[in-house]
Structure 1
Amino acid sequence: MSARARSLLVALGALAVLAVAALGLVLGARPLGPDEPVVRATEPPLTSTPAPTTPTPDPTEEPGPLADLHVVLDPGHNGGNAAAPAEINALVGDGRGGSKACNTVGSSTTSGYPEHAFTFDVAQRAREILVADGATVTLTREDDTGVGPCVDERGQAAQTAGADVLVSIHADGAADPAVRGYFAIVSEPPLNDAQAEPSRALAADLLAALGAAGFAPSSSYPGALSERADLGTLNWAERPAVLLELAEMRNPGEAALIESEEGRRRYAEAVAAGIREWAAGS
């Protein structure tokens, strides 16, 4: 045999030895017994990231019962009026061809709690209630530190805002402490259709709501309704409009309600209830 052939045989033998050694590493150092299972290598299980789920959208909220109603609430007077006599005494049109003062300071309880603070508090609370029912609510003033607005601007506020109704919130200041009770004022004679039956219907619903809330009707006005031709806030209105005197500020019992947070909450709830009832019937 040639030297080259012998070299090839040696190389093949070495490869065979290496192959046997590698097989031994795979099968282990000892042969398997007759009863031992053959363990086959398996691939690790595949892991997968779940496909993202599309969140279910929240169901659309049902619109509130007053969703189609736009209310203007007019909190009477303003906290800065007393310090601006020239501005509030300036004459503006009264809506009937005459003129009157832009605004007034308003009344107060005997302890000094002012009408402007009371009306602003009640208006804010009533707005919150009405908005919760879906209504749009505009206030004629957004703070209690300013001056005005004048009565002509207040009266035109509903049509300016494209609103459906105007409720001007006040408290009366009769000097006699025995006088008590709420009452509503409407424009008489009416200057347009809105000031006629629609305004009287609004007044009736507001008065009924105040009575249902446990407040006393006026001891001065039969039926708790007053008719006047001299109030610019009502004369300028082209939407149903009522000026609502919620209480007598000089009456001790009603002054206590006016000055209490609970009392103001009750007044606001009654105002909102009256507007809600009017909207349901209009």
Structure 2
Amino acid sequence: MHHDDSSQVPRRRSKLALAGAALVPAALAGWLVWAVTSGPARSLPPEARPAPGPSGAPLASPVTPAPPAPLAGKTVVIDPGHNPGNFEHPHEINQSVNIGTNRKECDTTGTSTNSGYTEAAFTLDVSHRLRTLLRQQGATVVLTQDADRPYGPCIDERARIGNAAKADAVVSVHADGSGTGNRGFHVILPALVKGGTADTTSIVGPSRALGERVAREFALATGTAPANYIGGGTGLDVRKDLGGLNLSTVPKVFVECGNMRDPKDAALLTDTAWRQKAARGIAAGVSTYLRD
């Protein structure tokens, strides 16, 4: 028997047409992937190209700017008390210099713990830590000395360094040499002095503001109390006999971080971790003052 297959031809053609239609979008998608990842950018169809910016170039992804450093544009002078070389230059450091209202020795060797850890070594260590912390906040930091000179500088030159830098704040780092049982820190502020070449009129107020903030933050960072032998428990002491303060024309304070001659305080001052806390407290005080 003869079978007429002509009725099956259209059906086969329909299946082929459907298969071909399905291949078109798949091929187009594959071509687009190649064009984006491998092919030249000009081969992309208009609808697949990045939207142009105002100048015709593709828009870049937005970048969030970094927040400004809190102390950017500020200058801080750190004055590490004494100098490790002072011990070898007694004649030079005993020369008298003008401190504005009278004369005083150029510098001293400073004190030390009973075990021989010197104030000069302590002040440099804390000053280096303080410098790092302030630079991390964007401040420009100047040291009056970094054991990079035979002795000194003399107290009048220390003041001039801060003045020449037009410092926003100056901190002189020290440790005290009082008697056993006298414990704690204190911050020395300039008194109102006007005579000879000294005139602290313009810095008394700002220096007190700086000193109050340093005292507060130092206590918080170190967990130590204000001195029990000076300042009436406030942690603040006002003096008119220090050339470094009398000759300053910018806000300046001294920080006596503790008493090296007391065994309990000495245990703190010789501890590396505690010195980092001390630097952190001073830095926080300076930063708070400069940002107020």
Give me the TM-score of the superposition, normalised by structure 2. 0.74
Aligned position for 1:207 = 215
C-alpha separation between the residues in 1 aligned to 2:281 and 2:204?
A: 23
Q: 1:68 aligns with which of 63, 66, 73?
A: 73
**Is 1:229 aligned to 2:240, yes or no?**
yes
Matches within 5 A, 1:127-166: 127-143=131-147, 146-166=150-170
C-alpha separation between the residues in 2 aligned to 1:105 and 1:57?
A: 57
Partner SS for 1:171: strand
* Moved segments of 4+, more than 4 Å: 47-51, 55-60
Q: 1:119 aligns with which of 117, 123, 128?
A: 123
- Map Cα deviations across residues 176-234 of structure 1 (whole Å, 9 max, x no partner): 21000101112212423333111111111011011212111101121122121110111
Deviation, structure 1 residue 265: 0.5
Provide the identity percentage: 40
CA change 1:59–1:113 in 2 (3 A) is same
Q: Which moved more, 1:238-247 or 1:223-232?
A: 223-232
The AA in structure 2 aligned to 1:206 is V
Q: Which has the larger radius of gyration?
A: 1
C-alpha separation between the residues in 2 aligned to 1:103 and 1:57?
A: 56
- Map Cα deviations across residues 5-27 of structure 1 (whole Å, 9 max, x no partner): xxxxxxxxxxxxxxxxxxxxxxx
Aligned position for 1:44 = none
Deviation, structure 1 residue 57: 11
Matches within 5 A, 1:1-282: 61-96=66-101, 98-143=102-147, 146-174=150-178, 176-190=179-193, 191-213=199-221, 214-221=223-230, 222=232, 223-281=234-292
Q: Decide whether the 8 Å contact of 1:116 with 1:144 is kept in 2.
A: no
Q: Decide whether the 8 Å contact of 2:70 with 2:138 is kept in 1.
A: yes
- Map Cα deviations across residues 133-175 of structure 1 (whole Å, 9 max, x no partner): 111111101237731000001112222112211110000001x
C-alpha separation between the residues in 2 aligned to 1:63 and 1:217?
A: 34
Deviation, structure 1 residue 60: 5.0
C-alpha separation between the residues in 2 aligned to 1:181 and 1:150?
A: 27
Q: Decide whether the 8 Å contact of 1:70 with 1:135 is kept in 2.
A: yes
Q: Which moved more, 1:120-129 or 1:159-168?
A: 159-168
Partner SS for 2:76: strand
C-alpha separation between the residues in 2 aligned to 1:217 and 1:145?
A: 33
Q: Give unmatched runs, 5+ long, in structure 2.
A: 1-37, 43-57, 194-198
CA RMSD across the alignment: 2.3
The AA in structure 2 aligned to 1:210 is F
Deviation, structure 1 residue 270: 0.5
Q: Decide whether the 8 Å contact of 1:211 with 1:217 is kept in 2.
A: yes
Q: Which moved more, 1:57-66 or 1:148-157?
A: 57-66
Q: Decide whether the 8 Å contact of 1:79 with 1:145 is kept in 2.
A: no
Partner SS for 1:193: coil
C-alpha separation between the residues in 2 aligned to 1:206 and 1:156?
A: 22
Q: Decide whether the 8 Å contact of 2:85 with 2:147 is kept in 1.
A: no
The AA in structure 1 aligned to 2:246 is N
- Map Cα deviations across residues 213-272 of structure 1 (whole Å, 9 max, x no partner): 211110112112212111011111000110111100011121111111101101100110
